[in-house]
Amino acid sequence: MRVTWAFLGRVPYAEALRLQRAAVGQVQRGGPGMLLLLEHPPTITLGRHADPRHLLLPEADYRRRGIPIFRVKRGGDVTYHGPGQLIGYPIVSLDEMRISVPDWVRGNAETIAEFLESRGVKARWSQDRPGVWVGDDKIAAVGFHIERRVSSHGFAINLDVDLSHFGTIVPCGLAHCGVTSLKRLGADALPMPRAAEEVAQRLATRFGWELAACRPGESLARESETVQPYHATIAP
């Protein structure tokens, strides 16, 4: 299976949503898969079944801090995205891969754990508390949306992210669990482009992808301009 991939640097969340939806359309029409790797500016997202009470500040306070809030279609509860966190959005056909949704989610999480172990951090996937964990601290969040058997959204790995922002939410709705990062654990987080390339290669090995590095083409960019992103700011 052919999958193109790109590290896009720092991308506003709404723009990444438009790129994802355009890529989903291309895959649903039989085009190649796409793996978007990037960072976001400070952003908070709530998944399909998120509890707004897990936002610990009034919306106006997040706005003053310059942190937009989005409700999106992925699984999971509330989480924070920001610089120093490697975001991965694999947009692929699960039918073409001949893989079930549970195996797809677990395969991504186990690939992240392998990447972390290569940096000297022993991590594990938890089915009961979806995510990748070091002890009782989450180091990577995982949340996908499957539409007509095409996967979007994905994962977020804490490399060198400002963890203080997680104190303004109940991360993933788990009040008694912590959040950590490679930096906090004293591991070498790698420059973001190198980390992105390594994760891309590991995913390709795990799922048998034929990987091709590129930037999203002009046709995808043009298509994304016509797509209305599915997000809404949460009312206070």
Kindly report, residue by residue over 131-177, the tens digit of the pLDDT: 899 998 999 999 999 999 999 999 999 999 999 988 888 876 666 77
The pLDDT value recorded for residue 126 is 84
| pLDDT above 70 for 219 | no
Contact assessment for residue 220 and residue 23, using Cβ atoms and an 8 Å cutoff:
yes
Domain ranges of the chain: 2-225
- d(CA 161, CA 94) in angstroms, rounded, equals 31
H-helix or E-strand containing 199?
helix 192-207
State pTM to two decimals.
Answer: 0.88
172 is catalytic: yes
What are residue 87's DSSP bridge partners?
38, 156
Among candidate residues 156, 7, 34, 16, the one with its CA nearest the CA of residue 93:
34
User: How many CA atoms are closer than 13 Å to the CA of 116, on its beta-carbon side?
Assistant: 29
Residue 144 amino acid letter: F
Contact assessment for residue 125 and residue 106, using Cβ atoms and an 8 Å cutoff:
yes
Quickly state the pLDDT bin for 197 (edges 50, 70, 90).
very high
189-212: average pLDDT: 95
Kindly report, residue by residue over 57-72, the tens digit of the pLDDT: 988 898 899 999 988 8
Instruction: Return the ∠ at Cα 106 (arms to 178 and 34), rounded to 5°.
Output: 105
CA 49, 178, 192, 116 dihedral sign is negative
- d(CA 40, CA 87) in angstroms, rounded, equals 8
What is the CATH T-level fold of the domain 2-225, as seen in this structure? BirA Bifunctional Protein; domain 2 (3.30.930)
Backbone phi, psi, residue 155, to 5°: -145, 165
Quick one: tokens of 73?
A: 């279609």
CA 195, 197, 201, 204 dihedral sign is positive
| pLDDT above 60 for 13 | yes
The pLDDT value recorded for residue 167 is 86
The pLDDT value recorded for residue 227 is 35
Helix ranges (DSSP H) in 4-144: 13-28, 59-64, 94-97, 101-118
| pLDDT above 60 for 217 | no
Kindly report, residue by residue over 18-44, the tens digit of the pLDDT: 999 999 999 999 999 999 999 999 999
The single residue of 172, 199, 204, 211 carrying the catalytic annotation is 172
